Amino acid sequence: MSRQVLVVRGGALSRSSGLGRAHHDLVDRLEQSEVSGYSLASVIEHELGGNLFTRWRRRRSEHPAHVEAKSLETQATILHITDQEQAHLVPKDCKVPVSITIHDLFHLEPRKISTPQGHVSIGNTKPGLLRSRDLKHIRRGLERADLLICISEATAEEARKLWPKKHIEVVPHGIDVEGFDPISFPLPKPEGLEYESINLLCVGSEEPRKRMDFLINVLGELPKEVKARTVLHKVGSESSPKSKQKLQKKAVDLGVNLHWVGRLSDIDLCGYYQHCDALLFPSIAEGFGLPPLEAMASGCPVLVADMPAHNEVVPPEWLLPHEDIEAWVHAIIKMKSNQKRRKPSEIALKRARKFSIDVWSESLENAWNQL
C-alpha cells in the first residue's frame, strides 16, 4: 500500500512561474504514481487576490489554521510543503511528518555578489516591517519541519549551515526528457529565426541577477562581421517597460541585434531550444537553473556562468567565468553558422538524461523514505 502525501502551498500559482510549475509537476507525478510507494492524498491551497489586509490575514491566520485543521483530519502519512516561502504553514506539533522543498535561500539569507559592473543584490537586504515578520515565521516553520528537501547541493550546503541538526536531502529537478527530444518530437522553426544567422537564446526575466546587461556587453564585443550575423532572442516575462527600454537602447548603441520574444508556451519555447545555436545563461544566482536543462534535453548547446547552482547541471566544458567577457566572446565566435540547421548535440542530450523524471522519482522516494 502506498503512503499518502498531503501537498500544501499558499496561494494557487499557475504553471507559468517557477514555483508554480514545480508544485504542479509534483502533484501530477503523485497522481500518476510516478514516485514508487507514494500517492496524492489531496492538495491544500487558496485563491489569490484581495487587498493588502485580506492577503495578509489569509497568509498569517486563515490559511495556516486551515492547514492545521486538515493535518489533524487527514489519513495522509506525510505533509509536504512545495516551497520554502510557505514554511510558516508547518503546524505546531504536527501529528504527521512534514517535509519542505527549498528552492533557494536568497530571501532568508540575502547577499551581494561583486561583478566588474558593480554589486548585484540577491534577495532583499532591507525588507520592510511586515516582510521582516513574515521571514521570521518562515524560519520558524523550517525549524519545525522534519525534512528539508533542497533542489541543489549548493542550496543544501547553505541549509546545513543554518540548521546543522536538521535532516536535509538533495533532490534536483527532473524533467520529461523524452518530451523535449528533437529527434522523436521535432518542432517547426520559430517564425523570424533564420539559419543564416547565429541564433542565440536567453530565457528569463530582466532581474539584475539574470544579467541581461552583461550579455549585451558580450555581444557588443563580437567582431563586426560576427555581430552582424548574430541575433539574441530574449524569451521571458518583462520586469518593467523601463528595464526593457533601457536594455533595448543599450543594444542599439552597441549594434546588437536583440529580438524580444516575450513569454511563450512550453511547446513554443521548446521550438526555440531545438533551432537556436546555443542558450546563453549568464545568471549569477539560481536555486537550480531550469532553462539550461530544458535546452540540453532539446539537444541545444549551452553557455552558462560558472556559479552555483546551475553549474551542477551543465557539463564543465560549457561553463564560463561569470565576469570574463572575453571568454564569452571567444565561445560565441566558435559557433559559426553553416546556414543549415545544427544537429542535436549528443553532449547535451546525454547530460539531460541524468535529470530524467525516473532519476528525480527515485531521489524523492529515497528522501521520503527517511521519514
pLDDT reported for residue 240: 74
Higher-confidence residue of 328 and 126: namely 328
- Using alpha carbons, select from 156, 137, 12 the residue that is nearest to residue 82: 12
CA distance linking residue 80 with residue 97, whole number of Å: 8
Q: Cell numbers 496561494 correspond to what residue?
A: 11
Q: Which three cell numbers stand for residue 36?
A: 514508487
pLDDT tens-digit series, residues 339-358: 567 899 999 999 999 999 99
pLDDT reported for residue 338: 56
Mean pLDDT of 206-226: 92
Q: Considering only 151-160, 240-249, 310-319, which range has the smallest mean pLDDT?
A: 240-249
Mean pLDDT of 50-58: 91
Residues 6+ apart with CB under 8 A from 117: 213, 214, 217
- Assigned CATH topology for domain 177-354: Rossmann fold (3.40.50)
Higher-confidence residue of 120 and 23: namely 23
Q: Which CATH class is domain 3-174+356-368?
A: alpha beta
Is the pLDDT assigned to residue 104 strictly greater than 60? yes
Q: Under DSSP, is residue 167 helix (H, G, I), strand (E, B) or coil?
A: coil
pLDDT reported for residue 114: 79
CA distance linking residue 340 with residue 221, whole number of Å: 25
Is the pLDDT assigned to residue 186 strictly greater than 80? yes
pLDDT averaged over the chain? 92
Is the pLDDT assigned to residue 305 strictly greater than 70? yes
CA distance linking residue 166 with residue 218, whole number of Å: 43
Find out whether 215 and 233 touch, Cβ atoms under 8 Å. Answer: no
CA distance linking residue 278 with residue 198, whole number of Å: 9
CA distance linking residue 269 with residue 217, whole number of Å: 25
Mean pLDDT of 19-30: 94
pLDDT tens-digit series, residues 244-281: 888 899 999 999 999 999 889 999 999 999 999 999 99
Q: Cell numbers 517597460 correspond to what residue?
A: 241
Cα 15 to Cα 140, 156, 266: the distances in Å are 28, 25, 10
pLDDT reported for residue 105: 96
In Å, how far from its chain's centre is CA 223? 33
Q: How many residues does the chain have?
A: 371
Is the pLDDT assigned to residue 196 strictly greater than 70? yes
pLDDT reported for residue 18: 83
Find out whether 204 and 210 touch, Cβ atoms under 8 Å. Answer: yes
Checking DSSP bridges between strand 118-122 and strand 111-115, what pairing results, if any? antiparallel
pLDDT reported for residue 339: 56
pLDDT tens-digit series, residues 318-331: 999 999 999 999 99
Higher-confidence residue of 368 and 335: namely 368
Is the pLDDT assigned to residue 367 strictly greater than 80? yes
Checking DSSP bridges between strand 257-262 and strand 278-281, what pairing results, if any? unpaired
> pLDDT confidence of 337, banded at 50, 70, 90?
low
Is the pLDDT assigned to residue 141 strictly greater than 80? yes
CA distance linking residue 4 with residue 7, whole number of Å: 10
Q: Could you write out the DSSP letters of every residue in 96-149?
A: S-EEEEE---TTTS-EEEEETTEEEEES-SS--HHHHHHHHHHHHHHHH-SEEE
Domain spans of the chain, in order of start: 3-174+356-368, 177-354
Cα torsion angle, 153, 80, 207, 126, sign: negative
Residues 6+ apart with CB under 8 A from 53: none
Is the pLDDT assigned to residue 1 strictly greater than 80? no
Mean pLDDT of 124-151: 94
pLDDT reported for residue 243: 83
Q: Under DSSP, is residue 314 helix (H, G, I), strand (E, B) or coil?
A: coil
pLDDT reported for residue 304: 97
- Using alpha carbons, select from 113, 81, 79 the residue that is nearest to residue 96: 79
Mean pLDDT of 205-210: 86
The backbone torsions φ and ψ at residue 175, rounded to the nearest 5 degrees and listed phi first, read -130, 165
pLDDT tens-digit series, residues 173-185: 999 999 999 999 9
pLDDT reported for residue 369: 96
> pLDDT confidence of 195, banded at 50, 70, 90?
confident
Cα 13 to Cα 40, 43, 179: the distances in Å are 18, 13, 23
Domains 3-174+356-368 and 177-354 share a fold: yes
3-state secondary structure 223-268: CHHHHHHEEEEEECCCCCHHHHHHHHHHHHHHCCEEEEEECCCHHH
Mean pLDDT of 301-326: 94
pLDDT reported for residue 98: 97
pLDDT reported for residue 336: 64
